[in-house]
Each structure stands twice: as C-alpha cells, then as structure tokens.
Amino acid sequence: MDKNRQTRILSVFEGAIYNGFFLITQGFLGTGLALEFGASEPVIALIGVLPSVSQFIQLLAPSFLRIVKSRKRAMMICASASRLSTAFIPITLALGINRQSLLLTILAFFSLAASLTGNYWVSIIRDVAPLKGAARFFSMRNVIFTFTNMFITLFYAFILDSVPGRMGFILITAFGVA
C-alpha cells in the first residue's frame, strides 16, 4: 500500500476518534457536562461558541509554522495539546474539582489547539488526496464520520441513561479521551 493511501486511511480513523471527544462538547452532551461542572447559562453559552470563536487563532498558524518549520510537526504538536488537555476533564470530575471556570479553560484550550490542528491537517491532506480522487475520498470520509457520530452519540446516551450523574460523565469523557 502506498504511503499516501495509508495516510488517507489513517486520517479517517483519526477523525472518527477525534469526533468521539468533540461530540461530548456539543449539544445535550456538552450541556450536561457543563451542568456537572456547575456552569451558569452565560458559561454554557460561551462553551457553545468556543469552536466558532477559536477559528480566529488560525491567523497565528503561519507564525507557529515558521517556528516549528514543519506542517506535520505543527499538526502533531497542536493535536497532542488539544487531546491531552481533554484528559483533565474526567480526572477533575473524579476528584470532585468541578468548577465552571476550569471546564471553560480546558475547552477553550482544546478548541484553540483543535482549530490550529484542522488548519495544518487540511494543508497536509491536500498533498495526499489526489485531485482526481479527492471528492470520493472526502465524501466517503464524511459518510463514515456520520455513521460513527450516530453510533457514538447513541453509545454515550446509553451510558448516561445507565450510569446517571457525574459517574456517567466520567465514563464518557474517559472514553472520548481514550
């Protein structure tokens, strides 16, 4: 298997795994998590707009790339920072450290780093998805993500129904981080 094909396949798996956590920050899961941290309505609203607002950090992507000198390295640093920051959510919940400011800080860091990750990812994937087959690759990727998101959302809802309250959110955030 050629390296570009392998990279495209791995990008689909990585994207599905990423969505496993991203779903927790959105919709009923994000609201429930925010409530577990005692978030007020304004903080819940802020958490809801973090993904959109964090897009502004992409203006710094060229500067960070000049420092790091490699798109792949820049993407890996940002992706690692984004994913590792989320590991604090189940830990803080388990320890009973559930302050809204802490959740807002973690999710802001996650959103900012994820925004930069996406910027570098698009730049890299253009090199590995040939123009001729790009439409097919991206449409298949989106179909896989749609089914993965449906499955994960139902799975998380099942966990929250079976294990209510803080422990349910510890389980789904731990699963999403893993």
**Predicted confidence (pLDDT) per residue in 50-65, tens digit:** 989 999 999 999 999 9
pTM above 0.85, yes or no: yes
The answer on pLDDT for 150 being more than 70 is yes
The first and second tokens of residue 113, run together, are: 């780093």
Please give the CATH number for the structural domain made up of 3-177. 1.20.1250
Q: How far is CA 20 from CA 10, 97, 108, 113, 174, in A?
A: 16, 23, 18, 17, 10
Q: Quickly state the pLDDT bin for 36 (edges 50, 70, 90).
A: very high
Which region among 18-22, 75-79, 87-91, 138-142 has the lowest average model confidence (pLDDT)?
A: 18-22
Q: Write the pLDDT tens digit of every residue in 49-107.
A: 998 999 999 999 999 999 999 999 999 999 999 989 999 999 999 999 999 999 999 99
Which region among 3-12, 23-32, 108-117 has the lowest average model confidence (pLDDT)?
A: 3-12
Q: Quickly state the pLDDT bin for 1 (edges 50, 70, 90).
A: low
The first and second tokens of residue 52, run together, are: 């959109």
The answer on pLDDT for 39 being more than 70 is yes
Share of the chain above pLDDT 90, in %: 63
2: left (phi over 0), alpha (psi -120 to 50) or beta: beta
The answer on pLDDT for 130 being more than 90 is no
- Kindly compute the dihedral angle of the four CA atoms of residues 108, 114, 161, 142, in this order, to the nearest 10 degrees: 150
Supply the pLDDT for residue 22. Answer: 86
Provide the mean pLDDT of the chain.
Answer: 91
